[in-house]
Amino acid sequence: MARRNRSGTARPPGAGPAVSGARLWTWLMLPGTLWMTGFLLASLLLVATLAFGTTDPLGNPRFGLNTDNFAALADPAYRTVLLRSLGYALITCLICLAVAYPVAYAIALHGGRFKNLLIAAIVVPFFANYLVRMYGWSVVLSDDGPLLKALRAIGIADDGTKILQTGPGVIAGLVYGFVVFMIIPLYAAMERMDTSLIEAGRDLYGGPLRTFLFVTVPATRQGAAAGCVLVFLPAMGDFVSAQLMGGPDQIMIGNLIQDKFFQGQNWPLGSALTMLLMAVLLFGMLGYLRRTRKDEAEAVR
Amino acid sequence: MSPEAHSLSRRSFLRAGTAAALGLSVAGCGFASEDDPAGKAAEETPIDVKVDGDLVYFNWADFVDPAVFEGFEKEYGVKVVQSNFDSMEGMAAKLNAGNRYDIIFPTAKWSERLAAGGKLRTIDHARLKNAEAVFGGYDYFADPWYDPGSRHTVPFTMYKTGIGWRRDRLGDLTGSWDDLWNDKAKGKVFVLDDRDEVLGMGALKLGLDVTTGDPNDLARITDTLRSLRPRLRGFSSDSYNNLLNGNADMTQAWSGDMAAMLAQAEDPSVFGFEVAREGAPVNSDCYAIPADAQHPGTAMLFIDYMLRPENVKKNIEYIGYPMPVRGSEDTYSALVEPFPQCLVTTDDLKDDRYFRNGTAKGEQHRDAAWTDVKAG
């Protein structure tokens, strides 16, 4: 998106001749792009070819040309788990949107001189290892943990209420794990937003809610779309949340893939599952790309 | 698939990746190094028992009393460089990737696989001063199924699988795997997050072979386990924490973990541990020296040092797992006095109670069954 601004909007005056500027950017981008493309393609090809492979007696993957691994995916268990993962990731996205919008709005438009401090307060906890934070979260949500104790004390929960090993428990973990990926792009979008639009909305007698829904949300929808992608993709592949917060009925596709690679040491089947997951995610990404391209076309026009 | 095992070093794995990237992959081509007769001979050469460098040690976390390490470092003037694995598969993957260790601790099943794959040096027991207490005291390990003649391994610990439960919430149990289906514990039951243990539990309940790879057997096992599923709270190998923090009323558990829990429980009488009369899976961890160990002499000294009676005692008390070393029995029975069923006796050691390596097809069937059990 940053790139669109650079190419789509007028360059600031005094930025030098256009050609050498463009060339500089190309050169600066080259190493990173090559690095990413090279390793992405290499690992993708490895996974793609392994999916047709077998496992030798020591558990080492061997390359081959058999389709057993894809045939094994017909097991209805995989469909159930895949659909469940899609559902969890979608709900996670929606909750993250609901949580992140007010946060980003408050910081971007009313943060004043505390803006950077507030953003740091949100980002710094993410320096701690994801797994450690999730473990901590699972302690907070456990049967004898502080949250349920407090809820029991005020009479909202009873002795039988539990959060761990339930669907909402897993989603709570996912939201907790990934909400920052929604806040940051939304914050960036709101920072860039022309605030006179909000004033215009008010001038036209829009209440705060209407102004928010019909002015702020459309103006920041690119940030929201980026946030959704950033949350949805890792949520879909996550295995930690379902492992720590879920029970037998909350297994996600990430757990199955992790099982194949680690416990079962069946890398070929794990690779086939990964391909399946990627195919599903690709649909989502294509939708996103089409959406942003349309937006870009409109913006240019 | 070829029956002989091929090693796949990190380098050959990368080479394989490149070849695949170039579209050179050929059906059935293994990209593995060929059998190497010189390497075979080196693996068979007896190891000189002497300090030949620092010890690069690879084990489960917290599986040796730190005081024992300190003693070893002091006595032999070496350092112990520690790293840990969290699963047998993870350990094998690290080994296969070309990481070099001097001593590793595979389970019985993995000892067999690694030895068959030419990944282990042979160990001459005659050169270990304290080996007699193991092989003289526990005949079973003189010629175990997983390593004929114990040529590549020395047993380290033994354990069984049973049921740990909250006596204060459920009272007494009946001593059968059926107890996991106990209505009083419904929704508070955990089973281990382990394919072999869970399928093995189902097999024992039905009187089948614990490592069956037969599709009909496995179908019966998954049916049985399906009826357990609505009662399950989860798959977790963190059994004693689940009991301690109240998330579990009952859980499938390894005997050694339950013994270790005794040290942490404020009131051990709240808990119980039973071994089902239908039979309990039994397992042992071994000492082994990888074929590419750089300091095998130090590793031999370390094994010998670990087998000294005073160190065996310290380790048993530290980790809660019994060791097949003559003379250590009293230490362990004192430790697990509240849970006598944690004891592993020579009667428990039976080939058909071990999880063994299956055929490739059988393993595939077991994998699919485990997916069914887990994903339902």
Please report the pLDDT score of residue B360 as a whole number: 84
Query: Which of B364, B365, B366 to mutate: most A Cβ within 10 Å?
Result: B364
Whether A69 contacts chain B with CB within 8 A:
no
> Mean pLDDT in runs of 10 for chain A (301 residues)?
43 54 87 93 93 83 89 90 95 97 93 92 89 89 87 88 91 95 95 87 84 89 93 94 90 91 83 93 84 76 59
Of A55, A142, A256, the CB nearest to B371: A256
Contacts of A55 in chain B (CB under 8 A): 1, 360
Q: Which residue, A254, A80, A102, is CA-closest to A170? A: A254
d(CA B280, CA B74): 41
Beta strand extents in chain A (DSSP E only): 54-55, 61-62
Q: Do A57 and B116 touch (CB under 8 A)?
A: yes
Of B2, B20, B376, the CB nearest to A63: B20
Q: Do A256 and B375 touch (CB under 8 A)?
A: yes
Q: What is the 3-state secondary structure (H, E, C) of B89-152?
A: HHHHHHHHCCCCCCEECCEHHHHHHHHHCCCECCCCHHHCCCCHHHHCCCHHHHCCCCCHHHCC
A49 Cα to chain B: minimum distance (Å): 7
Nearest CA in chain B to A73: B368
**Report field, pTM of the whole predicted structure over 0.90:** no
Please report the pLDDT score of residue B140 as a whole number: 95
Of A63, A65, A264, the CB nearest to B16: A63
Q: Which residue, A249, A269, A265, A73, is CA-closest to B94? A: A265
Scanning A95-134 for CB atoms below 8 A from B yields none
d(CA B290, CA B305): 19
Within 8 A by CB and 6+ apart from B317, the residues are: B65, B331, B335
* φ/ψ bin of A16: left (φ > 0), alpha (ψ from -120 to 50), beta (otherwise): left
Locate B236 and state its tokens: 């977790």
Nearest CA in chain A to B2: A56
Q: Do A246 and B30 touch (CB under 8 A)?
A: no
Locate B315 and state its tokens: 């380790």
Contacts of A173 in chain B (CB under 8 A): none
d(CA B370, CA B155): 29
H/E element holding A256?
helix A253-261
Number of residues that this document lists for chain B: 376
Contacts of A249 in chain B (CB under 8 A): 376
Query: Which of A50, A55, A62 to mutate: most B Cβ within 10 Å?
Result: A62
Cβ burial, residue B271 (10 Å; 0-12/13-18/19+): buried
Contacts of A251 in chain B (CB under 8 A): 374-376
Nearest CA in chain A to B359: A57
Residuewise pLDDT in 10s, chain B (376 residues)? 333 333 333 333 333 333 333 333 333 333 344 456 777 777 888 999 999 999 999 999 999 999 999 999 999 999 999 999 988 888 988 898 889 999 999 999 999 999 999 999 999 999 999 999 999 999 999 999 999 999 999 999 999 999 999 999 999 999 999 999 999 999 999 999 999 999 999 999 999 999 999 999 999 999 999 999 999 999 988 888 889 888 899 999 999 999 989 988 889 999 999 999 999 999 999 999 999 999 999 999 999 999 999 999 999 999 999 999 999 999 999 999 999 999 999 899 999 999 999 988 898 899 889 999 988 7
Please report the pLDDT score of residue B8 as a whole number: 35
H/E element holding B285?
strand B282-288
Contacts of A81 in chain B (CB under 8 A): 375
Number of H helices, E strands in chain B: 15, 9
